[in-house]
């Protein structure tokens, strides 16, 4: 029987999960209402959102890494709610809104 688990960021994860975390690091922006915004790395969420001294409890990202898309701990850079629930990414652009890149602020 092959090992179905791996250790990543000090946590036991499903085999193949480390590659998902690594791929998430390549997606540094998200488009919300036609505006390209910087994703918020783990530990930069602000307001006591998490304990970044340990890996994320959901996707095992470590401090400074981006969460795996769909992680329940990732914050939306537009509304600061949980990114996977807020709906901002699916919202249409506002009329006349310029497309630009803005850094996420904690």
State pTM to two decimals: 0.80
Torsion of CA 50, 52, 56, 62, to 10 degrees: 150
Residue 52: other Cβ atoms inside 10 A: 17
Rounded distance, CA 54 to CA 52, Å? Answer: 5
Tell me, what DSSP letter sits at residue 19? H
Kindly report, residue by residue over 30-77, the tens digit of the pLDDT: 999 889 999 999 999 887 777 778 999 999 999 999 999 999 999 999
| 23-32, 39-48, 93-102: the lowest-pLDDT one | 93-102
CA atoms within 13 A on the CB side of 61: 28
């Amino acid at each position: 029987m092959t090992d179905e688990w791996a250790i990543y960021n000090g946590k036991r994860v499903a085999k193949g999960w480390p590659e998902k975390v690594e791929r998430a690091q390549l997606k540094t922006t998200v488009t919300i209402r036609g505006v390209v915004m910087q994703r918020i790395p783990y530990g930069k969420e602000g307001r006591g959102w998490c304990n970044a001294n340990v890996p994320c409890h959901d996707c095992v990202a470590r401090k400074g890494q981006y969460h795996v898309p769909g992680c329940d701990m990732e914050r939306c850079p537009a509304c600061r709610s949980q990114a996977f629930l807020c709906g901002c990414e699916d919202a249409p652009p506002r009329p006349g809104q310029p497309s630009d890149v803005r850094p996420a602020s904690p």
